[in-house]
A and B are shown apart, each in its own frame.
Chain A
């Protein structure tokens, strides 16, 4: 597999406009509209993944040292699952929704049609470079759009692989991969799209919305934030420790929905730390750096960022802390005595470092969480359903999961997305299809009842108004005849 040399910035701008024009022409020809066509593309994508699993695993390993198992679960399987789900449900999703009518519209056909938006842009991140690119694509293709696919240049091996594979399975005129870094993305955003789907950071998201506002392009933003994890009340500490370690250290903590930090009482913390130690050893052995199930940090830049955080923290490292620059390795690390204004609490960690903040009561923890930005996910571990309920009802977050981590995003029936600083819009399953569709309200009337229409025409009179009020006072009636 050869990675092609990139053209210059100027060349790229022209190329981008050409690409967008070409896809717009393809969209306007109507080729992506029929159900058969969409189903074929989704089937081809499915073949692309299953035919090339080895290559995919290799690229992910090159980029992130992703353990084979993690890659299969969080990149291959989740994508295949989404594709199966879309293929199985496409017909159903495409059908118009007939809506409830009222007295005035009883004889009319009233329904909502789902229509494609046109040419959409999907920008993927580097942490799950396949999943977070292909899953939005599934929704976009199922909805009948043409798609410009922009994988992250940071996960370089996967970027090359996607650029190589997509043209072999999907028609280039409808689905094109565009490569490059931030300059190229800026240039790409000068073009007019019908929807932009972005997964990444808040800073970049702002500039994307600004670029989108010039064309009134709707956007979906899948951002991040610090996902809190609360442990309160009576609780099975061993089970909680297993689930917490699994969700935190999966992909070396580089997941937008990883529990970022823990809030619990001193007593819980004291019971938790030995439990975490046991689980870490059972998962990753006593020498995690040699364990094939431990991932690496994606780049030297991010590795340095994380090691600096470990240096700046005023907390105490109780587990892990080891790191190796050449290997971009950071051991699964737990830090205690972390204050609210600690370096570890200033930004999303996005790495294998777990701060534990001790707050004695769940009420104070809830207040702590509410002082911060609404996170993408919020977790609470407790055997007491009243504790779970209290946390859920007094906080807000993109998603919520009690007594586990991350798994809520694997269910295609649940929308996956943030709120406030963690994002805008959602996808997965039917939600993805809806995100990339326009819901067009249609009312088909007949020629009859023109006399009844007369109630709404001038010249007006008290009499007509009385009739109008009477007819529209019925339940679920409409505003005017």
Chain B
């Protein structure tokens, strides 16, 4: 592909190596976000009916903060990192030098089309790579806008935007990148990894799964439900770290339903369809998919839908059987099942019987119980007594484990993920006598061996 050739040549020219260049590109990216916020909001409204307030909240502020952090810390991140020496290497320089990988492919997703393409791009630029950006075709307006905007601000040869659907992505994956960064479904993640295997290209896969949310009966159920309601229904449930389903004991199920109902009223009014703050499903296919998951169940809250608008009301279902369709796949929509468990142990078993999720949420006031829940389960990340917030702190690595993903990013973690950590030992040709102990023939070595061993194995 021509674009790829040009990008590789641009990388090989060496212009991404100086930190000044990388900083300049990051500043330009910052400028784009600041100057074009209105256009970006409009595109998102057309793509997914995102409210104009949700856009800065959910995407732009996050990108801006990543850029600011990268600009501030770049010289620290890119500097050689000294490591422990031993007596044998005491006069040597021993360090790890982060280096760019080359040309990175970033495949974005449609649910947060700006942050899920630009946050990895920030790290790619900071690490000195070139990057081919492939936004999702499902968020069409955003994709078109990004294609128009990015080349006007950053180096268009180093960071081109490529449009297209499944076929174009498959063609891209046939090319040899130095890293492929994919955000999307586990199903496609497998295909991406398989395609990358041909060139032995390392990958980062930010996937999904069903993120469980356990509400303990002795917690502050009202506050828990407010936080869960926010996290579940923002972006109409189309968030990889949204609480997918609730686990709680039967004795509080009724209270949970009521609290959610009241919170929904407070957030979106009596008819969420009329609320400017409530989103829509991205397209007909996903709309149908989500509705079909609910077939045969009567919701206790919501349930209304309007296919002409891809509108599904915020919906809650109770007493959902663990083997129902609702519990088999990631919902990725505004439908919240409640599954009852007999106690926390039961909740832990339930979670561990299933694939490792991207996020785990626990609402509980007992420190010991929280500790046990964390220690006896695993997940990409955890937020206790809130939802999704671990995503927002850039010093925490964000990523999955098992089916929910490979690798992690955010802040310095993106820089590290998209760098090669080159082990460097800089010696001099002096002090050759020390080396005599390791050379043949044996009899000379054996006598000096003891000294050599001591020098080799003593850490300073």
Contacts and interface: CB of A to CB of B under 8 A. Distances in A.
B61 A472 contact: yes
Interface string B381-414: 1111110011111111110011101111000000
Interface stretch (B138-146, B148-156, B189-197, B323-331): B189-197
A81 interface: yes
A213 B440 contact: no
A380 to B, nearest CB: 10
Contacts of A408: 423-425
Contact of B200 (A73, A202, A383, A409): A202
A216 B374 contact: no
A439 B395 contact: no
A218 interface: yes
A441 B94 contact: no
Contacts of B402: 118, 194, 216
A478 interface: yes
B350 interface: no
A480 B425 contact: no
Contact of A457 (B191, B226, B440, B446): B226
A213 B267 CA distance: 42
Interface residues of B, number: 105
A405 to B, nearest CB: 10
A246 B425 contact: no
Interface string B181-203: 00000100111011011101010
29 contacts: A69-B445, A69-B446, A73-B438, A113-B374, A118-B402, A216-B190, A218-B406, A283-B441, A293-B440, A293-B442, A388-B426, A398-B423, A400-B423, A413-B85, A414-B424, A419-B101, A438-B401, A441-B393, A441-B398, A442-B382, A445-B384, A447-B220, A458-B51, A460-B277, A472-B61, A475-B72, A476-B69, A478-B389, A479-B392
Contacts of B310: none
Interface string B241-282: 000000000000000000000000011110000011110000
Contact of A69 (B352, B392, B427, B440): B440
Contacts of B381: 440-443
B83 interface: yes
Contacts of A352: none
Given A403-B428, A412-B84, 10 more contacts: A213-B193, A214-B190, A216-B205, A236-B432, A283-B440, A404-B427, A413-B83, A443-B386, A456-B230, A480-B61
Say whether chain B's binding surface is mostly helix, strand, loop, or mixed: mixed
A402 B426 contact: yes
Interface string A133-163: 0000000000000000000000000000000
A147 to B, nearest CB: 17
Interface string A214-245: 10101001010000000000011011101100
Interface string A83-119: 0110000000000000111101100101011010110
A276 to B, nearest CB: 14
Contacts of A40: none
B422 A419 contact: yes
Contacts of A400: 97, 422-425
B223 interface: yes
B29 to A, nearest CB: 16
B42 interface: no
Contacts, number: 295
Query: How many A residues touch the partner, as a band?
Result: 35 or more
A443 B425 contact: no
5 nearest A-B residue pairs (beta carbon): A413-B83, A460-B53, A209-B197, A479-B62, A213-B193
A264 interface: no
Contacts of A289: none
B230 A457 contact: yes
A418 to B, nearest CB: 9
Contacts of B382: 440-443
A396 B395 CA distance: 28
Contacts of A206: 197-198, 200
A479 B65 contact: yes
Contacts of B197: 206, 209-210, 213
B54 A460 contact: yes
